[in-house]
Amino acid sequence: MQPGSLRRLNARLVTVGVLLVVCWIAIGYRLVVVQALEADVYADQGRNQRLQRETLAADRGKIFDRDGRELAVTIDSVTVYANPREIEDPTTVARLLAPLLRMNMLDVLDALTTDGTFAYVARQIESAEADRVREARLPGIYFLTEPKRVYPMGDLAGQVIGFVRADDNVGLEGLEFQYEETLAGTPGELLVERDPYGRTIPQGEYEVVPAEPGSDLVLTIKTEIQFAAAEALERAIERTGAAGGSIVVVDPATGEILAMVNAPTFDPNDRSGADPVLFRNRAVTDAFEPGSTMKLVTISAALEAGIATPDTLYEIPRQLERGDTTFTDATNHPSELTVTGIVAHSSNLGTIMLGEELGARELHRVLYAFGLGQSTGLDFPGETAGLLRTPDDWCETTCIASTSIGYRVSVTTLQMAMVFATVANDGVWVQPHLVREIVDGRGARVPVDPLQRRVVDVGTARSMRAMLEEVVSGGTGAFAAVDGYRVGGKTGTTEKYLYDEQAYSEDDVVASFIGMAPIDDPRVVVAVVLDSPQRDASGGKGAAPVFSEVALAALHQLGVPPDGE
Amino acid sequence: MATRTAAVPAAANAVRRRLEVPDRRPARMIVLLLIPVALLAVIGLGAILSASSVLAIREGVGNLYYFKRQAVWMGVGLVALVAASATPPRVLRRLAFPMFVGSVVLLVATLVIGTRAYGATRWLVAGPVTIQASEVAKLTTILFLATLVSRKETSMHRLRDFMWPVAVSVGLVGVLVVLQPDLGTALMVAFGSFAILLASAAPFRYILGGAMFGTGAAVVTALASPYRWARVTAFLDAGSDPLGGGYQVVQSLVALGTGGLWGVGLGASRARWSFLPNAHTDFIFSIIGEETGLAGSLMVVLLFVALTVAGTLIAFRARDRFGRLAAIGITTWLVAQALVNIGGVTGVLPITGVPLPFVSIGGSALLTEMAAVGILISIARDSAAGGRP
């Protein structure tokens, strides 16, 4: 080869090397673009595909009775789920799994054959049951722990406590609903980098805002009294054949509800077959016409207005004609009655005379002052205000008469209990409440401070109590007597108003008795209402004995010393 | 003619010989070659440890599994490197033909009894080791072509003398590897051969014709298989379908961008957490770029530039035509493979599935590459033997 040719060959060789180096320069530039100039775009894209924001569920607060007994707690339950993609033979797996879960095999098969990678098979089952499934080691079947709300007292206070939605433990009814925000706490947040399989990348960003646990509720309910009331109500329904009933036990001095019972009831742990009507806390949500128990208000108003004293004597006619209605008395009594006698014998006519003497406006004022026609402000959802028409809407003929004796006005069992509690508390109405204290996650206790207002004079209240004692000792409420204690109260028997038919029932009544004990310094007020009793269908026969039972139990539980024979 | 192939100016050599100064240039070339190779291999081991540990744990083989395997292969490769560097070029030239025949046999055997994986038949299983014949064939083909061209260089202006060596070496091997199919290897063999022809006395028109023929063949092959065509279209518009064909490239760019200037730190790659498939094989460079940033990735580029310069210098100073052609062929193959790999990883070239030399996991590849480095050393040493040939 010639020297020129060698130079040419060398040039060709160097060209190869230079070409390669030029390519490297291009690659280097590209790297500068990707890793410096446009790096943020790609880095953000990466962060977005890795960073996951997850909610950390807060522990839901517990609900205790006033003595610290658990009424609602959250436990860890096991949920069984399937990854259908990992199950090659769903039929066999379903056949093996169904008996372990005591489920229908076809339901299990449905879950195992859904699209996607996640399907619930059985939610919130007991751990013993889950262990049996675990031991079976079925492919594609997995477990996760889910919080489950349980109610250790079962149906005892189901309507008061309410319940939560199984999916997410959000309160749906009762106190669980009312105090949702307090109980729920604040969910935390987890910011974490995860790979496509959901594994945490240890070197990745990690940020935790821990969940704030919910606050606990300490109720005013005393489980023993609640239990006694529930038992007594159950027996009363059996005895009278009533369709249902409610009992409210309240501490008149504090407004604390010691027991609140409705029958029939339901178990919040298993409400699968329960009629949603049963979820209602009817002592608070349902109104009825109270009848004679309302005479307490009319007579109090008369005493307060100074138009009568307990000893004022009235000549009671045999009947009163108002419009086309004829009012009569249901009881036999002397033709002359003192005001005390009017109460003791539950004289409609005597009460009407006093009511009419007061006039519509004054009667309305006192009714309203006692808390009727307005919600009590109880810390409970769905409370009804009842019905109390303004005086402008009162007719000239029957209205004052009807209202005086507890018709044409509707109330809740709680409202009536609070009317009697006002008298028991020397004329001061204290707002009723179910939650005594809220205990936050750090143990700080916030006691509930209820509203109070004076309704009638101390003197009026004491006079009324004396009359109420007379009802039991020598009037319509004899069956309400409690051994060892001096008690007072008032019976009520009304024809049941049928809202559907816009008329009073000819067969069914609402029988009630509301009383207090001990009469000189009442510690409990017990309101008993029976819906449509078929036997002993009056306040005196149907409801008064229930009062006796419940009051005695409550007094014992509260350690109230006897004050009578 | 052979006496004039040495590129060093004759006068300088004469001075050296007279002063009895030993010629240090071969040693410097060898150092310039070995430093990048050693560093790349070490970087590769580290990157494999990081990139494969998540995968290895998921596969339940222990997080060091892939790292250990590569380390063992590196030991074997070192032996091959030393052995090759101790073998004089004239012996290598004589061995070129039997080695070529041997690798063709391996390629045929692969097609017949090879193991299929990921839609390709690429591996021969022999006991505990799997051999990727196409990796071996890259080196033997280039060596064989270098012997053929060096022998026929003066007559290469005749089409027949140009055609048949190219057809025998590149053509035969190309067909055998494309049948696997392994277009990437065919491409690397083509690049090496192209460099050999370019550095030889072969007329440009033939080289150009051959290049056009090769390009045409590559396009036809790409069109013939849907997966390869999908790669090409994905390359042309990577962002359009980040979860489809362009997924790997998008994830690779995400990894590089996440690395930024200085990287997320060793062992802190996010991409290896199943975002980037083949993180320890074809996409190892993305992991390096993510963990060590632009600083680290440019360092790798610089090492390959050093390798390019060292290889070209060795070719330039080779004592004979065989050494010169073999050196430039080997250098171009190694460097082009690195360029194609990194080009693919950075989204400027389509993904061809070639590993990054010395860095990506792969025993056969590493062994072959280290043997090739040994041959470059042998050629460099030969240039010094006796000063002028």
CB B6 within 8 A of CB B388: yes
Q: Which three-class secondary structure string do you get for B75-115?
A: HHHHHHHHHHHHCCHHHHHHHHHHHHHHHHHHHHHHHHHCE
pLDDT digits (tens, 9 = 90+) for B273-326: 878 887 888 899 999 999 999 999 999 999 999 999 999 999 999 988 899 999
Is B258 within 8 Å of A46 when comparing Cβ atoms?
yes
Flag whether pLDDT at A301 surpasses 50.
Answer: yes
Which of A26, A35, A196 lies at the smallest CB-CB distance from B261? Answer: A35
| The pLDDT value given to residue A209 | 85
Instruction: Mention every residue, 6+ apart, whose C-beta is less than 8 A from residue A67.
Output: A222, A223
| The pLDDT value given to residue A211 | 85
Q: Number of A to B CB contacts under 8 A, please give it.
A: 147
Is A34 within 8 Å of B273 when comparing Cβ atoms?
no
Quote the CA–CA distance of A85 and A502 in Å, as a whole number. 61
Is A9 within 8 Å of B264 when comparing Cβ atoms?
no
Distance, C-alpha B10 to centroid of its chain: 33
CB B135 within 8 A of CB B365: yes
**Structural domain for B324, as ranges:** 23-133+234-384
CB A201 within 8 A of CB A536: no
CB A408 within 8 A of CB A289: yes
Flag whether pLDDT at B327 surpasses 90.
Answer: yes
CB B133 within 8 A of CB B103: yes
Is B309 within 8 Å of A17 when comparing Cβ atoms?
yes
pLDDT digits (tens, 9 = 90+) for A497-518: 888 888 888 889 999 999 999 9
Average pLDDT, integer, range A217-235: 96
Both tokens of A32, joined, read: 């500068």
CB B317 within 8 A of CB B27: no
Flag whether pLDDT at B83 surpasses 90.
Answer: yes
A contact test, residue of B57, B253, B309 with most A CBs within 10 A: B253
Quote the CA–CA distance of A380 and A350 in Å, as a whole number. 37
Residue with tokens 């002063």: B19
pLDDT digits (tens, 9 = 90+) for A73-84: 998 888 888 888
- Residue A469: pLDDT band with limits 50, 70, 90: very high
> Which residues does chain A have within 8 Å of residue B255's beta carbon, measured at their own beta carbons?
46
| The pLDDT value given to residue A220 | 96
Q: Is B4 exposed, middle or buried (0-12, 13-18, 19+ CB in 10 A)?
A: middle
Both tokens of B290, joined, read: 């993510």
Kindly state whether residue B316 falls inside one of the protein's structural domains. Answer: yes
- Residue B249: pLDDT band with limits 50, 70, 90: confident
pLDDT digits (tens, 9 = 90+) for A191-204: 888 887 777 787 78
Residue A503 to residues A497, A499, B135: CA-CA distances in angstroms?
6, 7, 100
Q: Is A385 exposed, middle or buried (0-12, 13-18, 19+ CB in 10 A)?
A: middle
CB B352 within 8 A of CB B169: no
Between B115 and B86, whose confidence is greater?
A: B86
Sheet holding A256-263, edge to edge: A256-263, A244-251, A524-531, A503-517, A488-498
Quote the CA–CA distance of A527 and A546 in Å, as a whole number. 9
CB B370 within 8 A of CB B80: yes
> Which residues does chain B have within 8 Å of residue A29's beta carbon, measured at their own beta carbons?
none
The alpha carbon torsion through B73, B74, B79, B81 (nearest 10 deg) reads 120
CA distance A203 to chain B (A): 6
| The pLDDT value given to residue B161 | 77
Length of chain B: 389
Between A531 and B241, whose confidence is greater?
A: A531
> Which residues does chain B have within 8 Å of residue A17's beta carbon, measured at their own beta carbons?
308-309, 311-312, 315-316, 328, 331
Quote the CA–CA distance of A338 and B286 in Å, as a whole number. 103
Q: How many Cβ atoms are within 10 Å of A324's Cβ, its own excluded?
A: 7
Asked if omega into B181 is within 30° of 0 (cis), the reply is yes
Flag whether pLDDT at B388 surpasses 50.
Answer: no
Whether A410 is a known active-site residue: answer no
Looking at every residue in chain B, the average pLDDT score rounds to 84
Looking at every residue in chain A, the average pLDDT score rounds to 91
Residue with tokens 């399989």: A197
Could you tell me which chain A residue has the CA closest to the CA of B266?
Answer: A203
Flag whether pLDDT at A456 surpasses 60.
Answer: yes
Which DSSP symbol is given to A286? -
pTM over 0.90: no
Is A45 within 8 Å of B250 when comparing Cβ atoms?
yes
| Alpha-carbon radius of gyration of chain B | 21
Dihedral sign for Cα atoms in the order B159, B160, B166, B172: positive
Average pLDDT, integer, range B234-250: 64
User: So where are chain A's domains?
Assistant: 46-69+153-219, 76-148, 223-266+282-558
> Which residues does chain A have within 8 Å of residue B265's beta carbon, measured at their own beta carbons?
203
| The pLDDT value given to residue A85 | 79
| The pLDDT value given to residue B18 | 61
| The pLDDT value given to residue B3 | 45
Residue with tokens 């007559």: B155
Flag whether pLDDT at B153 surpasses 50.
Answer: yes
- A76-148 and A223-266+282-558, same CATH topology: no
Which DSSP symbol is given to A35? I
Which of B198, B256, B305 lies at the smallest CB-CB distance from A21? Answer: B305
Quote the CA–CA distance of A27 and B356 in Å, as a whole number. 14
Q: Where are the alpha helices (DSSP H) in chain B?
A: 10-19, 25-59, 65-86, 89-113, 133-152, 159-166, 172-178, 183-199, 204-224, 226-236, 247-259, 284-316, 321-345, 363-384
Is A20 within 8 Å of B332 when comparing Cβ atoms?
yes
Which of B257, B265, B309 lies at the smallest CB-CB distance from A35? Answer: B257
Is A201 within 8 Å of B273 when comparing Cβ atoms?
yes
Instruction: Mention every residue, 6+ apart, whose C-beta is less than 8 A from residue A252.
Output: A420, A421, A422, A424, A425, A430, A516, A522, A523, A524, A525
Between A54 and A334, whose confidence is greater?
A: A334
DSSP string, A190-242: EEEEB-TTS-B-TTS-EEEEPPBPPPEEEES--HHHHHHHHHHHHHHHHHH--
Flag whether pLDDT at B240 surpasses 60.
Answer: no
Between B9 and A141, whose confidence is greater?
A: A141
* Catalytic hit among A77, A215, A246, A292: A292
Which DSSP symbol is given to B356? P
Which of A31, A45, A193 lies at the smallest CB-CB distance from B254? Answer: A45
Is B309 within 8 Å of A197 when comparing Cβ atoms?
no
**Residue among A346, A352, A342 at smallest CA distance from A402:** A352
Average pLDDT, integer, range A526-545: 94
CATH number of A46-69+153-219: 3.30.70.3420, 3.40.50.2300, 3.90.1310.10, 3.40.50.720?
A: 3.90.1310.10
- Residue B229: pLDDT band with limits 50, 70, 90: confident
Q: How many Cβ atoms are within 10 Å of A335's Cβ, its own excluded?
A: 9
Is B256 within 8 Å of A49 when comparing Cβ atoms?
no
Return the CATH class of domain A76-148: alpha beta
The alpha carbon torsion through A369, A371, A377, A379 (nearest 10 deg) reads 140
Average pLDDT, integer, range A108-128: 84
Flag whether pLDDT at A150 surpasses 70.
Answer: yes
Quote the CA–CA distance of A123 and A199 in Å, as a whole number. 24
Quote the CA–CA distance of B365 and B65 in Å, as a whole number. 18
Architecture of domain A223-266+282-558: 3-Layer(aba) Sandwich (3.40)
Residue B389 to residues A7, B10, B310: CA-CA distances in angstroms?
18, 12, 21
| The pLDDT value given to residue B118 | 65
pLDDT digits (tens, 9 = 90+) for A373-409: 999 999 999 999 999 999 888 888 889 999 999 999 9
User: How many domains does chain B divide into?
Assistant: 1
| The pLDDT value given to residue A457 | 93
**Residue among B11, B45, B74 at smallest CA distance from B367:** B74
- Residue A332: pLDDT band with limits 50, 70, 90: confident
Q: Which residues of A37-61 are buried (b: 16+ CB within 10 A; e: fewer)?
A: eebeebbebbeebbeeeeeebbbbb
> Which residues does chain B have within 8 Å of residue A7's beta carbon, measured at their own beta carbons?
none
Both tokens of B351, joined, read: 């993904």
Which of B7, B270, B336 lies at the smallest CB-CB distance from A193? Answer: B270
| The pLDDT value given to residue A479 | 94
Pairing status of strand A63-64 against strand A51-56: unpaired
Could you tell me which chain B residue has the CA closest to the CA of A6?
Answer: B5
